[in-house]
Structure 1
């Protein structure tokens, strides 16, 4: 952990480097009358922040260059781990700093690409003149909202009537796509975060194929489970009780029945995919290798299988653990298991990690009214099937909603040919203008849920 003096020194260095910063060269032809926000968005998309080697430094320099053009917007670069993983924090001070602030979060990184599977260079930000689609890794997940926050604040500050009551913070964090453990997880534990006095957070959501916006009040929590079955090795012709492969097959059969019971609820329309516990096999390791494949006349003494488990906040983790120890990997069947929990299901008071979307949460009605003022409609609030940095804020008892203003758009996060239409992007800026103005002007009680 760097000292505050060290952070200020590094920040000064960053500002010096900024004076020599030039945007990445364009790899797409210029488009006549292209709106400046689209040009800036495409330039951000051209910065390769995909794993395994995300260029966070260039991304932060670029965002800082734009932020420096917005009057009274304070800029701070924080290093929670290494110089290669900066966290950018922007602050627009409110007139009443005693009120809990509002945080708008996005992540800098994106997932890897298979360039050969793309129609266009995934880091070229190609803008199709026929339909306005901007092809790039991160176009939906989630460089769009990071730039929309900035553009919305830039336009609001251009209006001299805008004076926020509450302080507004905007954060750009590293490593969300690989768990967030060197990003938001460390940030929420830092003194810098505690000093922000955050009362409400907006984080990423997902695109909506319909003409209504989607909003998420919770994430599922991932558990990675590896089961090992052991037994005596034997000749391939022998049949005997409790060999390693037989034990694993029994476990997989039991796990499959549980998976089917959960999936049946989804197929019957009784629950959304994100509302059930999903258990999906991801690997199976067994057998004795040979130069031509595997030894066919030898039964293995050890078998290993991996499963990706996702739990909604309503799930009972203790009940699932009993199921694992008694049915899925019982010790009496010479089985062991290891679970890597990528998050928790309860906050610091023992409550499920979810944000109420009713009158018990005053922020919800403010957000809902802001969407209406922007001319939009919301679908029924959902649990996100995957996992985002929002869980770290909810764990601290801070109400957090996941939202990305992309309607009439296919869901393409982590997919080949990820794109976002220019018109959808520009509309999202207008939506965030209403959201930022409404949330920062909220003068009611804003205690954590």
Structure 2
């Protein structure tokens, strides 16, 4: 396509309009997104409902295309409206300008994460409806708030609501990640998040002394144990080319706090670690080791967790799951190279899996550098439009199961 074709393409116009809405943290305003989606629903002749599962500031928008057999479990196509902060001085294009350069690259926050996928769903459904398609299963297209902050104010409470249960969801699609190669990752599971705070008490006093049992000494011990564990996982990843980052446990020091003055030994220090536990990790054993190391460090250490959950069962990717079979048949038909992986971060898919709904993370963005949360985030116009065609086939297959 030429530059003029990109500028005039209907679906690219809708996509760029959505990208220009700055639903950006730390204070996203979702109302312009909701109004945009209301206009999309009207154009598509689909009913739309807006839910507020946590508070009036964090909506969940659901468009519905009713199936021929609405009693069957439905298909949920999920995406999130919020995007992470930007630093405009580090961008070569306005981060909410949705400008297209001469190569066809669309620059804007959300092009990859993940306003693209939400609009590709709608574009695919627009094409299918124009072609007169109808499917057995009802299709719900959801646009949620707060995903970038963990979904605590949107998807997490929504899946526990009677409104969500009324949707009768049997299978969900959600976001994946771009791929710089021809291969497209498909995510069937996520690691378990553990954010642990060690609140370390110790002997306080003058900085000129060698006091026993100080918080600093205990911190040194804890840090050593956590970094030793981290090193083992790094070596596993480096020594086995078959493993990806989602297959190992990551441990990262993210916060250190404490101290009152440069010549005073503090009575307490706090250190936080962000841990993402691989599926092969025994969670009870991991937690027991944290407490063991706290005792070995000298005691007087309280452990607090920002997140503390068990492993969520992965989505079955074999013949026992007819939705997976239908998805795989679609990607095979299209000649796509896909690779099953465990998602390295966290998405709203985990809330679906946690209530027993199989879900896959998939973003059709191959031959694309991974720029989510990065400066100059972009997606090529042709990649976007090809993704629309891919979703037409996938949606047709899974809604016909």
Q: CA distance change for structure 1 residues 82 and 335 in 2, over 3 Å: closer, same or farther?
A: closer
RMSD: 1.8
Q: CA distance change for structure 1 residues 79 and 94 in 2, over 3 Å: closer, same or farther?
A: same
Aligned residue for 1:398? 357
Conserved 8 A contact 2:237-2:243? yes
Counterpart check, 1:85 vs 2:58: yes
Match of 1:365 among 325, 343, 346: 325
Distance 1:142 1:119 in 2: 20
My pick for the range that moved more, 401-410 or 302-311, is 302-311
Distance 2:295 2:244 in 1: 28
Aligned residue for 1:416? 375
Match of 1:118 among 91, 96, 102: 91
Conserved 8 A contact 1:93-1:168? yes
Match of 2:19 among 23, 45, 50: 45
Task: Give per-residue Cα distances to partners, 1:16-53, cap 9 Å, x unaligned.
Answer: xxxxxxxxxxxxx9877531111110110000111112
Aligned residue for 1:250? 221
Match of 2:305 among 339, 364, 377: 339
Counterpart check, 1:277 vs 2:249: yes
Aligned residue for 2:131? 159
My pick for the range that moved more, 97-106 or 266-275, is 266-275
So what's the TM-score if we normalise by structure 2? 0.95
Conserved 8 A contact 2:213-2:298? no
Conserved 8 A contact 1:287-1:299? yes
Aligned length: 398
Aligned residue for 1:186? 157
Distance 2:52 2:258 in 1: 43
Counterpart check, 1:310 vs 2:276: yes
For residue 236 of structure 1, report the CA deviation from its aligned partner: 2.8
Aligned residue for 2:49? 76
Distance 1:64 1:127 in 2: 26
For residue 119 of structure 1, report the CA deviation from its aligned partner: 1.0
Conserved 8 A contact 2:52-2:154? no
Aligned residue for 2:209? 238
Match of 1:142 among 79, 91, 114: 114
Distance 2:81 2:6 in 1: 29
Match of 1:439 among 389, 398, 401: 398
Conserved 8 A contact 1:325-1:331? no
* SS across alignment from 1:59: helix
Over 4 Å off, 4+ runs:
29-33, 328-332
* SS across alignment from 1:96: coil
For residue 256 of structure 1, report the CA deviation from its aligned partner: 0.8
For residue 92 of structure 1, report the CA deviation from its aligned partner: 0.7
Distance 2:362 2:166 in 1: 25
So what's the TM-score if we normalise by structure 1? 0.85
Task: Give per-residue Cα distances to partners, 1:289-311, cap 9 Å, x unaligned.
Answer: 3xxxx33xx32222211111112
Structure 1: gaps (5+ residues): 1-28, 347-351, 443-449
For residue 55 of structure 1, report the CA deviation from its aligned partner: 2.0
Q: CA distance change for structure 1 residues 433 and 32 in 2, over 3 Å: closer, same or farther?
A: closer
Aligned residue for 1:18? none
Match of 1:106 among 75, 79, 97: 79
For residue 371 of structure 1, report the CA deviation from its aligned partner: 1.3
Distance 2:275 2:160 in 1: 26
Q: CA distance change for structure 1 residues 30 and 64 in 2, over 3 Å: closer, same or farther?
A: farther
Distance 1:432 1:329 in 2: 53
Aligned residue for 1:24? none
Q: CA distance change for structure 1 residues 375 and 261 in 2, over 3 Å: closer, same or farther?
A: same
Aligned residue for 1:214? 185
Conserved 8 A contact 1:228-1:336? yes
Structure 2: gaps (5+ residues): none
* SS across alignment from 1:214: strand
Conserved 8 A contact 2:7-2:13? no
Aligned residue for 1:14? none
* SS across alignment from 1:441: coil
Task: Give per-residue Cα distances to partners, 1:373-426, cap 9 Å, x unaligned.
Answer: 2332212x0000000000000001111000011010011111111111101000
Conserved 8 A contact 2:196-2:306? yes
